[in-house]
Structure 1
Amino acid sequence: MLIDAHCHLDFPDFDADREAVFERARAVGVTRFVVPGTTRPRWGRVLALGKREDVGVCLGLHPYFMDEHAPDDIEALAQWVDAHSEVVAVGECGIDARFDETLDAQWTFFDAQLRLAKARALPVVIHCVRANDRVAKRLRQLALPAGGLIHAFTGSPEQAHKFLDLGFTLGLGGATTFERARRLQRAVASLPDDGYVLETDSPDMPLAGHQGERNEPARVAEVCRRVAELRDQSEERVAAASTATARRLFNLSP
């Protein structure tokens, strides 16, 4: 059994064949899915997917979409989280330092969501691009009781273990499959069995050999195969470890 711990199945990329996407995933052993929220207008679609028994949902405000967020979205997020007990985490939120022009606003929204997660004792799903050290520093200051997921981790072994020491789990996806990702691959090999989950970030972050294609949860099986190679472990061990960690992190039922 595999869990795709981060996939945007609410996105319109899947409107034409969403059920077929689920079926292809199940055919290769992917039986659970965690879908994060990105913008306020999409929360309803995320929650609609959460009515499925095989989908866990998160709500948040993604730093990539800063031009779509409004100041009152933070208050609305708190209200939606409180009104929907099925929400398993706050997110996707975080910092994307590629966009310097919105960085101050990103930190404002990120900090507010971290405080919300802390107040509700929920894990947080973090998008962190070119900001590992700064994000780790803020997480240390806030000491979130339920930890969370550093989604699509691509950092060094040292940065990986810094996040682990703070009680966070690392999301491993398509980046692990590229030969040039030597630093990340060293980090993957160094992780404890309970330090990671497998994910796709569908429809984005395609795997090596699939560039330009829509990503989908079935490819978690390929990520599992690559992670097993990097860790010199069996695919069965990696699948079992990542599934157990995803269940614990998001409090998912068996």
Structure 2
Amino acid sequence: MNTTPLCRVDWAGSAVDIETRWIPASAADRPLLVFLHEGLGSVSMWRDYPALLCQALDWHGLVYSRPGYGRSTPRPAEQHWQPDFLERQASEVLPALLRELGVHQMYREVWLLGHSDGGSIALIHAARHPGSVQGLIVVAPHVMVEDISVRSIQQAREAYLQTDLKARLARHHQDPDSAFWGWNDVWLSPAFRDWSIEDLLPLIRCPVLAVQGSADEYGTLAQIERIGALAPLATTHVMAGCGHSPHRDSPDELTQAIKAFVARLPRHGG
């Protein structure tokens, strides 16, 4: 991967720096795959999976850390994210980043690959900006809040307060409190309990591959089943025995599922 300088964008009237990393394909006219990380993720938390997948597809890649994460501008300590935080990332931050980088002028096709919260952001973006992307791959996405999600996020809070989780997150975030509390506080807020994006799924007009592990500790298979039932061009894939991070648990299986899905689409055949 090639690290680039921070990209400065305007978000709701404030300048924020966004950490990015580019992965080149063999030719300029290959599609671009934009990676959207999980609720505690960052560029470095993906490890080598984006490079391995892009190599397998021969696609360009763009990996970035959302504001509050990684080496991007931290969340101010006094700022509390609201229940619409995923919608704001999908409809404000991501479009601003793509615009600033000139992505749609440089690449003939743009796809999103989102993990967990990043998968939710990808789905929202495709519904709200239907002409912006040609396809989605969502891994362990959330389309609604389940009891299992809340329980696991409560356990994460306890681990952050009582174990070395903060120190481990500090390897990937310049301000681990920014990343952790921004995510944890909003997910555990009573106002977020009724959050859902199920009404947006029928608005998605591009192909969607929705992947989830059968042992996901943050959500049941109902998440991708709803996508399969409501998004017009959705395909679901269950990875047996995998937890919340299939790209870490079984990266080869995930890559093969993605390759097979892309190969079936007319614009990517062969």
Q: Give the TM-score normalised by the residue count of structure 1.
A: 0.40
Higher helix share: 1
What is the TM-score with the length of structure 2 in the denominator?
0.38
